[in-house]
Amino acid sequence: MRKQGQIVVKRAIDRNYESVRSLLTRAEFVANRVHCRTDLISRCADGLVGYFSKRCFSGGRESSGAMGDRAREDYLSNFEAVARGLDRKTGVRDRRRQFSTTSSSASSTSDSSTNVKGRALSEQFSKTLVDDIYRGSFRNQTGVSLKYMMDFGDHPKDQQLLFSAQFLHKELPIRLAHRVAELENLPFGLSTKQQVLAVRDWYVESFEEIREMKEINSMEREKSFTELLSSVMRRHNDVVPMIASGVLELKNELAEQNKKGAIDLNRIAHLPEIHQFLDGFYMSRIGIRMLIGQHVALHEPAKKDYVGLICTKTRVLDVVKDAIDDARALCARQYGDAPEVEIFGDENLTFAYVPGHIHHVVFELVKNSLRAVADRYKDSDVPAPAIRVVLAEGSEDVCIKISDEGGGIPRSGLKNIWTYLYSTADSPLKDMEFSDAGAGSAPVVLAGYGYGLPLSRLYCRYFGGDLQILSMDGYGTDAYVHLNRLGTGSEPLP
């Protein structure tokens, strides 16, 4: 199965790598359920991979029709029937294999990582729960658009809140199951790291709590469900630094093995498989928190021009000014002073968007520019030049341009800026201690993690925008933030 899966990935990588990787991960998730090598199990596993291979090569069209759904369900049913038969005939129920915690590449690149045994899901949670999770990981996620959220939440009534809760009650377990499946099958032994296991357990616990919630058919149950969602949000507050710490630990281990000659770090430079996983994982996290936050916010006292988290008349200038003030205050604490920031463009520009997303992106970009300028001119008699922010409205996008004269980035280094854990600042992760305590066990500040730019780009892309960086080495850097003002694009679900 692994060999066939590798062939599929190799052939399809230029077409749609993200889809292939996600689907094959889920195929392996099911195929590794039973610790028994039989022809029947092999045929079922090959059938799953064959189905997903066909789906990948056809651009996912098989998943859209009834025939595709039936094929998938047939393979699942056959697989489970074989597993149940083996349980009865050979008594292998107690010998069910733990879900795979490393990819096949881990054994060839990181012996010490693969020798570390993680906590298997079957040891932590009940068989029924684990079976529900892997079934959920095969179901299709449902994306929503900014416009849909805004139209649906406008003047919310009990019936709308009830419908929203029913949608989340069905959708969130599917999204959580997808993430658990990925966390169980990460390469280079990342799935065995303490921090990753803790995050996996948070996702499983949230899945279980939502799944155990009875059908939401009354406002009383809707209220209880909303309270549950708030607790889920709090539990997942520390996901970003926890995963970052696990990845940093893996990176340090691989660097040590490279020094000893155990692996060739150049062959796995920047860990592309890890970064592809992180892009999908964090994009999913943005989506989950947006859906939950929007539903919870609809229960709060109404604010003028707001529909939940969405401001229908977001005044870009005000959000940008707040982000600039926060970034300059941070710079002043570190350097004793902060360069000036000048704003140009349409001061009355408004559109429907989530102000928190704009603030996150602009704060990160201005913070980087302030630091670059402050470092370059800290020992200079020449006054530090101001950072320039330009606001513009196009037919499709609202654009924010941030320009600095901080010296720029060498052309060879531009490819690194989107790499997770690439940062020129000291990382706070090495000095942090983690536990399984959940929310509150780690700080949420991202300075020095190397996550600022990659996450900012995901926030832009979540509603159909983008983030681009252009740099002139020896002079400065320009960042272009594109925010989709139409709001019709659906979530880019991993």
Report the catalytic residues.
360, 364, 367-368
Task: Tell me how far apart the alpha carbons of residues 426 and 46 are, in angstroms, rounded to a whole number.
Answer: 47
Task: Tell me how far apart the alpha carbons of residues 458 and 183 are, in angstroms, rounded to a whole number.
Answer: 19
Task: Tell me how far apart the alpha carbons of residues 225 and 214 are, in angstroms, rounded to a whole number.
Answer: 9
Report CA torsion sign: 349, 351, 356, 360. negative
Residue 473, Cβ density class (10 Å: 0-12 exposed, 13-18 middle, ≥19 buried): middle
| Dihedral Cα 274, 408, 465, 291, nearest 10 deg | 50
- Estimate to the nearest angstrom the gap between the alpha carbon of 430 and the chain centroid: 22
Report CA torsion sign: 275, 464, 387, 321. negative
**Per 3-state DSSP, what percentage of the chain is helix, strand, and coil (rounded to 5)?**
60, 10, 30
Task: Determine the straight-line distance between the first and last CA of the chain, rounded to whole angstroms.
Answer: 23
Write the DSSP string, 126-180. Answer: -HHHHHHHHHHTTSPP---BHHHHHHHHSS--HHHHHHHHHHHHHHHHHHHHHHH
- Which residue in 217, 219, 193 sits closest to 277, CA to CA? 193
Cβ neighbors of 55 (< 8 A, separation 6 or more) are 23, 61, 62, 63, 68
483 in Cβ contact with 142 (< 8 Å): no
Residue 83, Cβ density class (10 Å: 0-12 exposed, 13-18 middle, ≥19 buried): buried
- Estimate to the nearest angstrom the gap between the alpha carbon of 117 and the chain centroid: 25
Residue with tokens 């369900």: 73
Write the DSSP string, 395-428. Answer: SSEEEEEEEE-S----GGGGGGTTSTT--SSPPS
Cβ neighbors of 167 (< 8 A, separation 6 or more) are 142
Query: What is the widest separation between alpha-carbon atoms in the chain?
Result: 84
Task: Tell me how far apart the alpha carbons of residues 396 and 254 are, in angstroms, rounded to a whole number.
Answer: 44
233 in Cβ contact with 296 (< 8 Å): yes
